[in-house]
Amino acid sequence: MKNRYPVLKNRRPRPLTVVIMDGIGFREGNPGNAVAAASTPHLDRLVQTCPHTLLKAHGTAVGLPSDEDMGNSEVGHNALGAGRFYPQGARLVNEAIASGRIFEGRGWKRLVDFCRRHNGTFHFLGLFSDGNVHSHLDHLKAMINRLAREEEIARVRIHILLDGRDVGETSALDYVVPFESFLKDIREATGCDCRIASGGGRMKITMDRYEADWNMVALGWKTHVAGEGRMFPSAEAAIRALREENPGVIDQDLPPFVIAGEDGPAGAMRDGDAVVYFNFRGDRAIEISRAFEEEDFDKFERIPRPDVAYAGMMEYDTEAHIPKSYLVEPPCIEHTMGEYLAAAGIRQMAISETQKYGHVTYFWNGNRSGKIDEDLEEYIEVPSDRVPFEQRPWMKSAEITDRVVEAVMSNRFDMIRLNFPNGDMVGHTGVFHAAVIAVESVDLAIGRIMHAVEKAGGILIVTADHGNADEMFELDRKTGMPKLGENGLPKPKTAHTLNPVRFIVYDPSGNGAIRINPDVKNPGLTHVAATCFQLLGLEPPELYDPPLLVCS
């Protein structure tokens, strides 16, 4: 087959190292821009001396419903590893609900039939916002409407995980108050007894990932399933009281609560109930799904363990088939970069700390658990600290870099991919000065990797999966200036951004005469995979989006 794209002839770098600066986007403006405020001599040098461009990392470019949807680490790594975009979680669920396909599916019908047969309660559990990264309230409302108006289910309970991360950091009541009105309308129109039953901050209960802290899931089980915990008459009352008692604590970190009346908890789960975990994103959905489904589960004692019918919004792990029952088919991502490179005999290493380890493995490989080729791949997880990220914004960047530098110099790998989580995880805290330190920590690490790449004669790619630390304040879109809170200070922003990310190629040998290809219009994350093939001296697959470079 004729080579469609120029590659580096007779040269395979040892190795090609790909750095993903998670959550470090690019923005021209300075207010609230921790990336611009940070001292980044190594990134500055790369931009001044190396081929570079900006990549779109959000919206339709990564398979999300619209360009108003911010990118995230899951879809970003899917796009990086797959070489083209696939319709992603929110878009798939939107289409399934709009067409009615979700309600005709086996997963939905199984839950409704089980609930009717046992005269049970139908429960929903998930992230309670319209952030559209893990979930969306419109999906929850559509399912509640269906149950009450067409399925004629008598009781519905909602267990809400407060966001404050993909949306405003203290926006919970902006969602709870109108949602209570929505539930009231449902009750009055249909007679369906639908109420909020429990809740808590997403970083306190239930939504752990990569087995970083099973205690979060255990506390979620106690709160949602057993109905045990501090009790309040309503979600609004709980949120107001917990905020007053915990000044400065944002929604994602609020303690758990249970809604109760004179008869006790409003929504403890019982035999014969049905449960939907309505998050569509997988990483923070797998552990609670395992707790509901696994017979030989040993991470914590499930007391009680009611006989319920459980389903996730999607299949969160397509290899391990978690959960067994789900409502919407996930994207079937095939022919990933990892598969092609393994077939070509390319020796690969993937590394990050716990918080993003699954992104450079599971998500990069198209939502596939485990290695593609045990003989050719090495996956390294550096255990994350269990402290608030703003208290240790350097996270595990030094330890990751130690391992990467060793690997670059070892001549054992053809390609190394790594993720520095700092810009994203610290960015989500809304603490500006901590985010600045996070970015500086990543820059320091990149400098060390650059030196190793120089000595080894390899090539370095530096990019990111989405923005976050680049916009730490809520901005007025007309003026570009920060919005002010009640205290007169800029309102912190904890969500991802719509900003592009950098793509930089560092070839210290200069053998490839590399430059950015001007013919690639609107470049995005999906173009990175073919570019890696190009730099490895391999023909990119025809189904991939074209590479970003011209190599002569």
Active site residues: 73
CB 318 within 8 A of CB 330: yes
90-124 b/e with 16+ CB inside 10 Å = b? bbbbbebbeeeebbebebbebbbebbbebebbbbb
CA distance 77 to 476: 30
- ∠ CA 73-76-80 to the nearest 5 degrees? 135
Rounded to the nearest 5 percent, the helix, strand and coil shares of the chain are: 35, 20, 45
Furthest-apart CA atoms within the chain: distance in Å: 77
Q: Which residues does 84 contact at the CB level (< 8 Å), separation at least 6?
A: 526, 543, 544, 545
Stated as kind and residue range, the H or E segment containing 515 is strand 514-516
**Helix and strand counts by DSSP (H, E) for the chain:** 17, 18
- With a CB cutoff of 8 Å and minimum separation 6, the contacts of 212 are 354, 355, 384, 386
204 with 255: CB under 8 angstroms? yes
The residue written with tokens 């095939």 in the block is 334
Contact 71, 62 (CB under 8 A): yes
Which pairs from 60-66 meet CB under 8 Å and 24+ separation? 60/85, 61/85, 61/522, 61/524, 61/525, 61/526, 62/88, 62/524, 62/525, 62/526, 63/87, 63/88, 63/91, 63/331, 64/88, 64/90, 64/91, 64/132, 65/90, 65/91, 65/94, 65/132
Taking the C-alpha atoms of residue 179 and residue 163, their distance in angstroms, rounded to an integer, is 15
27: which DSSP letter? -
List helix spans (H) across 84-152: 89-99, 101-104, 106-117, 137-146
